[in-house]
Structure 1
Amino acid sequence: MTPSKRPLFLPTSRKEMEQAGYDELDILLITGDCYVDHPSFGVAIIGRLLESLGYRVGLIAQPDWKDPEALKIMGRPRIGCGVTSGNMDSMVNIYTVGRRLRKDDCFSENGEIGKRPPHALTVYAQLVRQAFPGINVQLGGLEASFRRVAHYDYWQDKIRPSVLIDSKADVLVYGMGERPTPEVYRRWAEGLPLDGIRGTARLLGKKAAEAFDPKDQYLELPSYEETLADKDALMTSTRMIEAEMNYLGGRGLFQRYGDRIVVIEPPPEVLTPEELDKVHELPYARMPHPKYKGRIPAFETIKDSIQAVRGCPGGCAFCGLVVHQGRHVMSRSEDSIMRELDAIADQPFFKGTVSDVGGAAGNIYQSRYDLERCRRCKRSSCLYPAPCPNYTCTGLEIVRLLRRMSAHPKVKHVYINSGIRLDLALRQPELLRELISKHVSGHLKVAPEHLNPEVLKLMRKSSAEEFYKFMELFEKISKECGKEQYLIPLFISNFPGCSGKEMKTVDDFLEKHHWSLQQVQDYIPLPMTMGAAMYYTGKAPDGREIVVNRGLAERREQIGVLKKRRSGNAINSDPARRCWEKAPRRPGRNRPAGGFKKPGR
């Protein structure tokens, strides 16, 4: 098929298959999100990447998870199926901190709830097995990354096994997936084994487990049975996983499940800037599939923004980003970003304002590393407890990029709404002045998260003094520019180790400065994060016992501290959602004993 005749979207029906010239699919992708063909949506990236390699790819979004026939609309794919729950863990997407159903789903048409099941990755994989017996099944996406080993599930309040156990999938791809996913399908197409693919995990049966020889290339995690019997085993596992997340020197891991073994290969190599550029410049339609007639909130949030980086150097204990993207920052080239800006500027919805340029933060673009020295690194953060001397980010490249974008003939404003890292910003004086004077849309997001020094240590966050200093600089530069601008700080309540005494530090600060918060957050333990290990064990990483508020009755006091300072409907109950929500939602009420609601159809 010539490029001029290529359909704008990946096929989602038999009719669209025929329009694409396909008599059968090679690969079928299944997602729990609406189909938005945009590089901010993981399934679109993987679909377009596989398509660019010559595979015939189809996509089914939000299928009826109770009916295997829903997956048969385009026939049985020749090579296999890829399954993702979407851009978020399905449990985070469906339930609040109070284990109540959320009132909306920002990845569904008109925010409608009930379009995906709890533990969607497992449900979809089992549905694939029913629809196409014997077919190859691959797991991917954020939920796969979060649940690749035995982990604590907050919503069920128990340890769950690797998602490979319940889903019965053949292979799991963790991380962003551009390197391992094509290799998985190539080997399937050629009838080759899947062992040794970096960025993947596999479940070995009894015979294969007996033959498995870890040598010095794999470390053994506490077994599933040990993790069930001893809470401290989860902390041990988490610390080991964090130490091996470095793609330059990280080793593989394995975990026993009775007479079976889950083998987790070392992290995949990050993409080069040239490769990341190519991924973002695949032929996306850059819009939702035309079958959707309503608005998709997540798309509305990102449609006029540009992702400039991947990864995060922070390694905060409450955040799952490093579990998925890693802590090494990958940056796109200026030219690639400008080409994407050209594409956005040509869209009919564009009014001259770029709402955001960034990623995990707005001031980590063009981070630099001494990679040879990084090979030996076992740190969980490049910035905590102090910035690593191997890591630098001057901010000067960001200044140059922002000035170049601002000079675009169709651009009126370029804003940074990703939020910025305070610990970096204070060492980026030219960027700080450029941001505050030209690229703040009246409000600038910052995330001190807390102000008590002991809680900040547990969070792996910079000191409160840096936040206070940043406040002074922000006010000073804003006045010099003649602008009335405000900070939007984010604080977390009920993080492990935070009692009412520690929370009073935040309350006293807010009282002193007469601040009304627009965005606050009650802590949710995300699977595989250090925060989840602390919450589950009741211990800090060094083994000392810490206070943990578990039920809503215990949590209510600290939630109240932030809610009373809140302006409008601005409670946000987890870090995974806040990068997508412009208007965070209220947490649910307390649930009675006996579990939590399941979404209806």
Structure 2
Amino acid sequence: MSLEEAKARGWKELDIILVTGDAYVDHSSFGTAIIGRVLEDAGFKVGIIAQPRWDNPEEFKKLGKPRLFFSVSAGNTDSIVSNLTPGLKPREKDAYSPGGRPGLRPNRAVIIYSNRIKEAFPDVPIVIGGIEASLRRFAHYDYLSDKVRQSILADAPADLLVYGMGELQVVELAKRLQAGEDVKEVRDIPGTVWKMEVKAWKDLKVEGRERDSENCIEIPSFSEVSQDKAAFAKAFRMYFMEQNPVTGKSVIQPHPKTVVVQNRPMRALTEAELDHVYELPFTGETHPSYTETVPALEMVKFSLTTHRGCFGGCAFCAITQHQGRMIASRSPESLLREARRLTEKPDFKGIINGVGGPTANMYGMECRTWAKKGACLDKACLHPGICPALDTSHKKLLELLRSLRELHGVKQVFTGYGVRYDLALEDEEYLEELCAHHISGQLRVAPEHFSKRVTDAMCKPDRKVYEKFAEKFKILNKKCGKEQYIVNYLMSSHPDCTLEDMIEMAEYMRDRGGYTEQVQDFTPTPMTVSTCMYYTGLDPFTGKKVYVARDKKEKAMQRALMHYKNPANYELVYEALERAGRLDLVGNAWNCLIRRRERKEKKERKEQER
């Protein structure tokens, strides 16, 4: 983080400098920390510039000129998601900043940081990566500007984009630049995106050589997808189908001033490679230069990452495009070694507060088709039902959890979130042990909605599956003598969700006594199926039209329906019921969502105030 620290190590210059929009936390849940440790392990001298001021290039000179390249990331999340609420208002807190202070990173951080670096060091290669770059690698819908933007590689003065998790790509790149290769000639590393001159691409097309290989496809250009929503949906479908490291092809998308070429995805790390990465010498702490804690660390400091990838396939989630659908798991031995190191920390209180990955209960699972052809392209693993080719046994996870519970110094091992409940239903032994040992009063699950039309659009299980899980959860808790509850995460305004669907959900929650505050408004983020539906109004795989709530008033009404008991939402709920022709739900009967007289009294108060 400083030249003084470099000198203390005997380093006269740095090989690589990582620039990040997050505070620097040396923990394996933070992407910059992983990339830094992996590069260090490969023999490179690495510096980190965290949350630099971006109004001039001087801040990017404080570690000097790197010998090989700058690597730029917005941090663990997209900078716009970090900075703005779903309503595009500034967030009051930033979990990845010291003290949770907001405003320490710009919107579109990757582009802005890259521009400042180019001003400071015009001849140093720039490599971009992380969530923001990874998910904006093609022309994409941008919620903040409400338009289609170019690939981030076309907007940023960068030489190469690394997508996905990145360890294998960045180490290979560093070694090749170390050997004297020009970054502009490095065009064959899987999991990277590079730029070709428009003239060179046109020449290839004239010669017919762009079709010489069966290993590449051209998708509709930026000009096409920015003007034609059907073309946008087609492009999305085409590149979505190539996110498979076994069968994926290179994907080419022309832009006005450059041609963006995505190489096929990088393979997942093996078990041994994952073990090695997570057992690198992370301190697990914020950098000593900070005087305040970083809230994001407090959430994960005493947790264990067991695996990567998710075959859930939720339409609103981008994990498929970043980590992939195939599960890559660590060995139990590696996880137990890490757990023992946690118990040696002076502030460890005996509680491991999280064990999992993108989900809590996909550890060790696999499909018999993955090794030969990767994840299927023509069907989902869990929707509309669980594929019979999928091994849903929780045996490996159960053995791991039992071993963790037996460790000296460990009092509790909690898994209070991230459980995929349709999978949990497949293994009652796991569900029983979860209730008996691994929940601290509340289990957070994400049914997201209870209207079948909406759950189908989301690729989530329908409510019958949820009801079966909730009933089983109740029975097993009674069996083990515990009083524990389910907390539901729900979503409003998802594509294909109407006011009628939200009223259906409000009635469902009313009847089941499951009123919840855990509701979020759908936010279009790059490279998800749901965002494609939101922008185009089309299902990219079927071409069918999808209803989209775009009007701010309707979105507010949808959200208010889930908080219909809140007096502050009365007018919005009444208007929603009136618009939907459901004023039968206004009155004093047991099944009414709101009382009729409240609206009258509120109007009278307003008239008196006037």
Q: TM-score, normalised by structure 1?
A: 0.90
The equivalent of 1:474 in structure 2 is: 473
The equivalent of 2:561 in structure 1 is: 561
Tell me by how many angstroms 1:546 deviates: 2.2
SS of the residue 1:300 aligns to? helix
SS of the residue 2:260 aligns to? strand
The equivalent of 1:285 in structure 2 is: 283
Contact kept, 8 Å, 2:246 with 2:372, in 1: the verdict is no
Structure 2 letter corresponding to 1:332: R
Q: In the aligned structure 1, how far is the partner of 2:147 from the partner of 2:216?
A: 27
Q: In the aligned structure 2, how far is the partner of 1:281 from the partner of 1:211?
A: 48
Contact kept, 8 Å, 2:417 with 2:444, in 1: the verdict is yes
Q: In the aligned structure 1, how far is the partner of 2:379 from the partner of 2:82?
A: 26
Q: Mean alpha-carbon deviation: is it higher for 210-219 or for 345-354?
A: 210-219
Contact kept, 8 Å, 2:326 with 2:374, in 1: the verdict is no
The equivalent of 2:499 in structure 1 is: 500
Contact kept, 8 Å, 2:534 with 2:548, in 1: the verdict is yes
Structure 1 letter corresponding to 2:54: W
> Whose RCO is larger (CA < 8 A, sep 6+)?
1
Q: State the identity as a percent.
A: 40
SS of the residue 2:5 aligns to? helix
Deviation per CA, 1:333-375, whole angstroms, max 9, x where unpaired? 1011111111111112210111110011111000112234534
Which of 159, 169, 172 is equivalent to 2:158? Answer: 169
Q: Mean alpha-carbon deviation: is it higher for 446-455 or for 370-379?
A: 370-379
The equivalent of 2:403 in structure 1 is: 404
Tell me by how many angstroms 1:384 deviates: 1.8
Q: In the aligned structure 2, how far is the partner of 1:13 from the partner of 1:92?
A: 29
Q: In the aligned structure 2, how far is the partner of 1:384 from the partner of 1:241?
A: 21
2:235 is the alignment partner of 1:230: no
Q: Mean alpha-carbon deviation: is it higher for 516-525 or for 457-466?
A: 516-525
Pairs within 5 Å for 1:297-446:
297-370=295-368, 371-375=370-374, 377-379=376-378, 381-446=380-445
Q: In the aligned structure 2, how far is the partner of 1:331 from the partner of 1:549?
A: 39
Which of 170, 191, 194 is equivalent to 1:199? Answer: 191
2:73 is the alignment partner of 1:84: yes
The equivalent of 2:602 in structure 1 is: none
Tell me by how many angstroms 1:237 deviates: 1.5
Pairs within 5 Å for 1:184-223:
184-192=173-181, 193-210=185-202, 212=204, 213-214=210-211, 215-223=213-221
Q: In the aligned structure 2, how far is the partner of 1:374 from the partner of 1:511?
A: 46
Question: Paired residues, what number?
Answer: 557
Structure 2 letter corresponding to 1:253: V
Tell me by how many angstroms 1:156 deviates: 1.1
Q: Mean alpha-carbon deviation: is it higher for 525-534 or for 507-516?
A: 507-516
The equivalent of 2:545 in structure 1 is: 545
Deviation per CA, 1:76-129, whole angstroms, max 9, x where unpaired? 001110000000000111111111101110000111011000000101111110
- Classify 1:22/1:373 alpha carbon distance in 2 versus 1 (closer, same or farther; 3 Å): closer
Q: In the aligned structure 2, how far is the partner of 1:190 from the partner of 1:373?
A: 34
Contact kept, 8 Å, 2:350 with 2:411, in 1: the verdict is yes
Pairs within 5 Å for 1:129-278:
129-192=118-181, 193-210=185-202, 212=204, 213-214=210-211, 215-258=213-256, 260-278=258-276
Q: In the aligned structure 1, how far is the partner of 2:193 from the partner of 2:92?
A: 34
Deviation per CA, 1:39-63, whole angstroms, max 9, x where unpaired? 1000100000001111111001000
SS of the residue 1:91 aligns to? helix
Contact kept, 8 Å, 1:316 with 1:381, in 2: the verdict is no
Q: Mean alpha-carbon deviation: is it higher for 557-566 or for 196-205?
A: 557-566
Tell me by how many angstroms 1:443 deviates: 0.4
- Classify 1:380/1:260 alpha carbon distance in 2 versus 1 (closer, same or farther; 3 Å): farther
Which of 62, 83, 93 is equivalent to 2:82? Answer: 93
Contact kept, 8 Å, 1:32 with 1:120, in 2: the verdict is yes
Deviation per CA, 1:284-329, whole angstroms, max 9, x where unpaired? 1111001111121100100011111111011111011221111111
Contact kept, 8 Å, 2:325 with 2:375, in 1: the verdict is no
Tell me by how many angstroms 1:376 deviates: 7.6
Contact kept, 8 Å, 2:93 with 2:102, in 1: the verdict is yes
Which of 104, 116, 121 is equivalent to 1:127? Answer: 116
SS of the residue 2:340 aligns to? helix
- Classify 1:428/1:522 alpha carbon distance in 2 versus 1 (closer, same or farther; 3 Å): same
Contact kept, 8 Å, 1:318 with 1:530, in 2: the verdict is yes
Tell me by how many angstroms 1:454 deviates: 1.1
Q: In the aligned structure 2, how far is the partner of 1:430 from the partner of 1:180?
A: 40
Tell me by how many angstroms 1:174 deviates: 0.2
SS of the residue 1:229 aligns to? coil
Q: In the aligned structure 2, how far is the partner of 1:468 from the partner of 1:376?
A: 29
- Classify 1:567/1:529 alpha carbon distance in 2 versus 1 (closer, same or farther; 3 Å): farther
Deviation per CA, 1:505-542, whole angstroms, max 9, x where unpaired? 21111101222314211100110111011000112232
Larger radius of gyration: 2
Q: In the aligned structure 1, how far is the partner of 2:84 from the partner of 2:108?
A: 11
The equivalent of 1:13 in structure 2 is: 2
SS of the residue 2:461 aligns to? coil
Q: In the aligned structure 2, how far is the partner of 1:209 from the partner of 1:488?
A: 53
Q: In the aligned structure 1, how far is the partner of 2:563 from the partner of 2:482?
A: 29
The equivalent of 1:5 in structure 2 is: none
Q: Mean alpha-carbon deviation: is it higher for 239-248 or for 328-337?
A: 239-248
Contact kept, 8 Å, 1:94 with 1:102, in 2: the verdict is yes
Contact kept, 8 Å, 1:219 with 1:254, in 2: the verdict is yes
Structure 2 letter corresponding to 1:163: I
Tell me by how many angstroms 1:444 deviates: 0.5
SS of the residue 2:226 aligns to? helix
- Classify 1:343/1:567 alpha carbon distance in 2 versus 1 (closer, same or farther; 3 Å): farther
Q: In the aligned structure 2, how far is the partner of 1:395 from the partner of 1:99?
A: 40
Q: In the aligned structure 1, how far is the partner of 2:352 from the partner of 2:240?
A: 35
SS of the residue 2:237 aligns to? helix
- Classify 1:567/1:406 alpha carbon distance in 2 versus 1 (closer, same or farther; 3 Å): farther
**Structure 1: runs of 5 or more not aligned:** 1-11, 569-601
Tell me by how many angstroms 1:190 deviates: 2.2
Structure 2 letter corresponding to 1:102: R
- Classify 1:471/1:409 alpha carbon distance in 2 versus 1 (closer, same or farther; 3 Å): same
SS of the residue 2:167 aligns to? coil
Contact kept, 8 Å, 1:373 with 1:390, in 2: the verdict is no
Q: In the aligned structure 1, how far is the partner of 2:120 from the partner of 2:258?
A: 26
- Classify 1:291/1:195 alpha carbon distance in 2 versus 1 (closer, same or farther; 3 Å): same
The equivalent of 1:58 in structure 2 is: 47
SS of the residue 1:179 aligns to? helix
- Classify 1:20/1:352 alpha carbon distance in 2 versus 1 (closer, same or farther; 3 Å): same
Q: In the aligned structure 1, how far is the partner of 2:246 from the partner of 2:384?
A: 21
The equivalent of 1:584 in structure 2 is: none
The equivalent of 1:577 in structure 2 is: none
Q: TM-score, normalised by structure 2?
A: 0.89
Contact kept, 8 Å, 2:365 with 2:392, in 1: the verdict is yes
Structure 2 letter corresponding to 1:72: K
Structure 1 letter corresponding to 2:175: R
Structure 2 letter corresponding to 1:555: K
Contact kept, 8 Å, 1:358 with 1:418, in 2: the verdict is no
